[in-house]
Structure 1
Amino acid sequence: MHMAVAENEVQVGAQGRIVIPAGLRKALKLKPGDRLVARTVGESLVLERRETVEKRLRDRFRHIPGDVRLAEELIAERRAEAAREVREQ
């Protein structure tokens, strides 16, 4: 699938605000009140719909079984590391 590339120059305002040009808003079907997630990629600013970010993350971690709790595993690993450090002192 080929996506059209649209380039528009925007200016950063005094309070860091930018205006997304009307043509881009229309092409992306952005409406007042829509919320976007901002991130950097190298020296570029990327604005994405939250739903797009959530889908990318779900796809990225799809291989992990639903009963696995990554946060709990990370906490357990950190506690084990802390216990080893205490024993080594």
Structure 2
Amino acid sequence: MNVQRGKLVSGGRLQLPVEIRRALSLSDGDTVLLEVVDGEIHVRPYRDAVARVQAKLRKYVEPGRSLSDELIAERRAAAENE
């Protein structure tokens, strides 16, 4: 993708061109992460950052094991013991 021109509008909001929103599969209301790197703003969808972290952590969990189910079970057991 070539360089696109955006615009800073009232309240410090950044208006992204439709081509960039489409390329990143962004819709109104989506959460993005903003990072300043060497004087540039990097924008990435939050969902992509979460997926990247999940992929990195997946290698530490045995197949078929659900950490979320284990956490829920632990919380329920703790609530019963209160």
> Under a length normalisation based on structure 1, what TM-score does the superposition of the two structures give?
0.51
**Residues 24 and 45, structure 2, Cα contact 8 Å, conserved in 1:** no
Measured on the aligned residues, the alpha-carbon RMSD in Å equals: 2.2
Question: Out of 50, 54, 64, which is 1:54 matched to?
Answer: 50
Offset at 1:8? 0.9
> Under a length normalisation based on structure 2, what TM-score does the superposition of the two structures give?
0.55
2:11 counterpart of 1:15 = yes
Structure 1 pair 50–43 and aligned structure 2 pair: CA distance change class (3 A): same
> What one-letter code is carried by the residue in structure 1 that aligns with 2:11?
Q
Higher relative contact order (CA 8 A, sep 6+): 2
Structure 2: state its 5+ residue gaps: 62-82
Of 20-29 and 5-14, the range deviating more from structure 2: 5-14
Q: Which has the higher strand share?
A: 2
2:43 counterpart of 1:38 = no
Q: Tell me the matched-pair count.
A: 61
Q: Which residue of 2 aligns with 1:76?
A: none
